């Protein structure tokens, strides 16, 4: 009898857990529905304001007058929703995404805060990139803001050669960046950190490191041992990208890039291809993350022509947007 009672209690507990899960999912769907409805409403409010402004465009200052009067009339709605600043945001929302209801349905994954951050980006291509990535990768507003401020999109562009990947090659154009911004490691590293300490700090903040690396990356191992008949070699970090379907080997360097570093990574990639890579895997990629690099040396090394070797700088502080843009322009990587 006691066993039956225990069994019944377990069964009831399982049912209760299922009910909690169902309620949680229902509440999430309600929140998503409300969020989508409000974002759509803001877009339509913006459209209505623009339509009215266009009718009164011959009158100087009519737009500002309209917003101020609307804000006063709608003040009873409360919560500051219809402040002049917010009404300007709604207007800007429509002007930036005029075809939202037609060509680009409101993405339920994105909140109003997401859209407000994205619509301030002046570059249309960058704007659509962040819209797509934030939606498909479920970026939080904090991560989205960090990626915008660190020129995530422009850093991806900095590694593109303009040539599309040919059949049989791995298209890395959406994954490899230069530089990588690792500001989240700052508090965990001493002023003169060793490569071992840098590696340990990365492992301690692995989730953030993966987010900076890009989508599709999965951690495999640190200090991955690869052996020949006579020697053992150790690769700092090994990842697998399930989108590229290949291994990515990372060698960390706290100094400037050298020819020896390039030769060592070339050897690692060749050994990995021969000893580890599976038959269904794409070619292995090798990346050297270094404190600095000479682009002239890169140009006249095997990095220039190789489709499997890359060298990128890393920064342990989050530069301002102007600093990053100036750096990319100075190196001829971004116009």
pLDDT in tens, 140-159: 999 999 999 888 988 887 66
C-alpha span between 61 and 173 (Å, rounded): 46
Cβ-proximal residues to 286 (8 Å cutoff; 6+ apart), any chain: 248, 249, 250, 251, 265, 266, 268, 269, 308, 309, 310
- Residue 222's pLDDT is 95
- Residue 136's pLDDT is 85
In terms of Cβ atoms closer than 10 Å to its own Cβ (0-12, 13-18, 19+), residue 162 is: exposed
| Calculated CA dihedral for residues 17, 20, 24, 26, nearest 10 degrees | 110
- Residue 167's pLDDT is 47
From residue 271, alpha-carbon distances to 107, 227, 243, 251, 310 in Å are 44, 9, 22, 15, 17
What pTM was estimated for this model as a whole? 0.74
C-alpha span between 194 and 62 (Å, rounded): 62
Q: Are 20 and 64 in contact (CB under 8 A)?
A: no
As given in the structure block, the two tokens for residue 321 are 């947007």
Q: How long, in residues, is the chain?
A: 335
- Please report, in angstroms and rounded to a whole number, the separation of the first and last CA atoms in the chain: 79
Residues of the chain under the 50 pLDDT cut: 102-103, 161-167
- Residue 154's pLDDT is 84
CA angle 97, 101, 104 (to 5 degrees): 65
- Residue 135's pLDDT is 87
Domains of the chain: 2-90 (no CATH), 167-330 (3.40.1350.10)
């Amino acid at each position: 009898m006691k066993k039956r009672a225990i069994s019944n209690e377990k069964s009831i507990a399982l049912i209760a857990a299922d009910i909690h899960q169902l309620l949680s999912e229902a509440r999430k769907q309600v929140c998503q529905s409300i969020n989508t409805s409000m974002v759509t409403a803001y877009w339509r409010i913006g459209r209505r304001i623009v339509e009215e402004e266009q009718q009164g465009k011959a009158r100087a200052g009519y737009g500002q007058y309209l917003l101020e009067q609307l804000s006063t009339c709608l003040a009873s709605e409360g919560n500051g929703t219809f402040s002049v600043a917010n009404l300007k945001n709604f207007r800007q929302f429509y002007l930036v995404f005029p075809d939202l209801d037609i060509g680009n349905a409101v993405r339920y994954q994105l909140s109003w805060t997401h859209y407000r951050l994205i619509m301030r980006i002046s570059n249309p291509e960058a704007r659509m990139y962040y819209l797509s990535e934030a939606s498909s990768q479920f970026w939080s507003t904090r991560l989205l803001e960090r990626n915008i401020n660190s020129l995530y999109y422009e850093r991806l562009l900095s590694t593109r050669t303009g040539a599309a990947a040919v059949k049989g090659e791995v298209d890395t154009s959406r994954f490899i960046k230069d530089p990588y911004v690792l500001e989240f490691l700052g508090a965990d590293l001493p002023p003169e950190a060793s490569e071992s300490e840098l590696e340990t700090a990365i492992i301690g903040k692995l989730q953030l490191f993966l987010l900076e690396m890009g989508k599709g990356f999965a951690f495999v191992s640190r200090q991955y041992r690869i052996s020949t008949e006579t020697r053992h070699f150790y690769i700092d970090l090994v990842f697998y990208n399930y989108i590229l379907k290949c291994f990515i080997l990372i060698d960390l360097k706290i100094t400037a890039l050298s020819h020896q570093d390039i030769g060592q990574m070339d050897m690692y990639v060749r050994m990995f291809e021969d000893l580890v890579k599976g038959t269904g895997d794409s070619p292995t990629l090798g990346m050297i993350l270094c404190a600095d690099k000479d682009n002239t040396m890169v140009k006249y090394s095997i990095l220039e022509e190789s489709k499997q070797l890359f060298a990128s700088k890393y920064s342990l502080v989050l530069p301002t947007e102007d600093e990053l843009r100036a750096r990319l322009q100075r190196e001829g990587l971004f116009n």
